[in-house]
Amino acid sequence: MKKSDFYRPDRRVVRWGFLLLAFSVFRLHAASNAVQLREFIAALPTTPQSHAATIVQTPDALVAAWFGGRHERDPGVGIWLSRKLAGQWTPPVEVANGVQASGERLPCWNPVLFLPRHGPLMLFYKVGPDPQHWWGMLKTSTDQGVHWSDARRLADGVLGPIKNKPVQLADGSIVSPSSREDGSWRIQFERSIDGGEQWTLASAVPNPEHIEAIQPSLLRWSGEQLQAIGRTRQNRVFSTWSSDGGRHWSALHLLELANPNSGIDAVSLADGRALLVYNPTDHGKDWWDGRGQLALALSRDGEHWARALTLENERGAEFSYPAVIQTRDGLVHILYTWKRQRIRYVVIDPARL
């Protein structure tokens, strides 16, 4: 057989293949360089278990909170808080618990920190034996989380933000992403026009596909359009839209984004993109399966997402319940549950994604 009988690939095909490979390697390298910092809050675990973190930027500090105790649902579970000052996290302290007037103690759940434009700093959380019977609580701080007011219970029917942060619109109104688990899962939105003193329920979200959805995360798009995305039992992330400040919402539908019945969080970036932190898997036979991977995805329209970075990947482990914000310097800050033992903190430069 002559040499000329052997297949010789077109040089243009080889050249383009090489360029595509080089571009892929460049993207992977750039994405890996996007991670600026990765550490735990607290050198050692403060409680046997920690879960469901939240984070906010105040004028002088980052403030983080989570629930911690022996295990989820244990009556001793309280809300713990740490502040990042001069590059260091302060020792965590318990700032809320579920002690009732009768002396009975009930577990605390899912804190959410939020700072309106004119303050004060708000700490929402839930108290109750389980998510079917919990109620919303609120504390406030006028000194960036150093001291806190007495807790007050939110009005009946109002639970506050269930897992993810509210947004404040240009007119000052606050939209809180909430949900209920008493029976079927369903999302709801709560609005305040007086800085969080009083809340009203928005119209019910149409759900013709009977999607079981909870824990919305809010995104702001141009023209004051709001989008909510979040957790479902249908193995995919849900989406719904509002064009009137969160008063009314479009029919719930599913995105082409895997969701293993696990909480997500998202943030609208200053460059016009949206960033999502989520578990990019389906759940297995048990509801907690699929939390061994945690990833970032990006979108320019809220409906189409591209995976951009893997934060964690360990079969059988749990990395879950992320919280994400973008600070004034443009960096993205992420907290998440690390194996139920600790809260991990990661800083991302989104310009490298």
Q: What is the pLDDT of residues 71-110, one digit of tens each?
A: 999 999 999 999 999 999 999 999 999 999 999 999 999 9
Angle, CA of 173, 176 and 179, to the nearest 5°: 150
Contacts of 16 (CB under 8 A, 6+ apart): none
Residue 22: band (very low, low, confident or very high) from pLDDT cuts 50, 70, 90: very low
**CA atoms of 301 and 299, how far apart (whole Å):** 6
Judge whether 110 and 136 are in contact, CB under 8 Å. no
**CA atoms of 283 and 293, how far apart (whole Å):** 11
**What tens digit of pLDDT does each residue of 204-260 get?**
999 999 999 999 999 999 988 999 999 999 999 999 999 999 999 999 999 999 999
37-352: CATH, from 1.10.3470.10, 2.120.10.10, 3.40.50.150, 3.40.630.10: 2.120.10.10
Beta bridge partners of 238: 230, 254
Token match 């903190």: residue? 345
Judge whether 42 and 68 are in contact, CB under 8 Å. no
Question: 3-class DSSP state for residue 223?
Answer: helix
pTM over 0.75: yes
pLDDT value for 43:
86
**CA atoms of 291 and 285, how far apart (whole Å):** 13
**CA atoms of 210 and 189, how far apart (whole Å):** 18
**CA atoms of 343 and 45, how far apart (whole Å):** 9
HEC string for 246-281: CCCCCCCEEEEEECCCCCCEEEECCCCCEEEEECCC
**What tens digit of pLDDT does each residue of 195-208 get?**
999 999 999 999 99
**CA atoms of 208 and 214, how far apart (whole Å):** 16
Token match 């009137």: residue? 244
pLDDT value for 286:
61
